[in-house]
Amino acid sequence: MVTSDLYKTNDIMTANGISLVVKLYEGCIKFLKLAISDIENADYESKANHINRAIDILFELNASLDIDVAPEIATNLRSLYLFCIKHTKEANIELSTVKLGEVVKILSGLLSGWREIAY
């Protein structure tokens, strides 16, 4: 493992729950932005990889919701995550940078809120 990979692994292993959510949002946004760039550069293999990674993160965020702790918030977040997954899958098929940009905008707004809670 490269030194920077070791630091990332250590950072993730020691992150609290909210910090981990922030890191997931940041990663998802990063992969979506890379996918936008990939579409613009007609690099469809890389686009598929980045979109798959973003969708995996969205599924992880969705799976981590605890309906028992905050039912209304969890239900609203679940709706947003499912919308983002659907929109990202459509963007993948349609090669739509606009749809990916919309998902980035939604997630960036949510990330801002999570950062306020985390720090």
8 A C-beta contact, residue 31 and residue 65: no
Contact between residue 5 and residue 11 where contact means Cβ atoms under 8 Å apart: no
* pTM of the predicted protein model: 0.86
Q: Is residue 54 part of a domain?
A: yes
User: What is the domain range of residue 72?
Assistant: 17-118
Model confidence pLDDT, tens digit, residues 9-36: 444 444 578 899 999 999 999 999 999 9
Is residue 2 a part of any domain in this protein?
A: no
Collapse the DSSP code of 117 into the 3-class scheme (helix H, G, I; strand E, B; otherwise coil) and give the result: helix
CA–CA separation, 68 and 37 (whole Å) = 39
CATH number of the CATH domain containing 84: 1.20.120.340
Q: Do the beta carbons of residue 30 and residue 104 sit within 8 Å?
A: no
43 part of a folded domain: yes
pLDDT (tens digit, 9 = 90+) per residue, 58-112?
999 999 998 898 899 999 999 999 999 999 999 999 999 999 999 999 999 999 9
Please give the tally of structural domains in the chain. 1
The answer to the question of residue 4 being in a domain is no
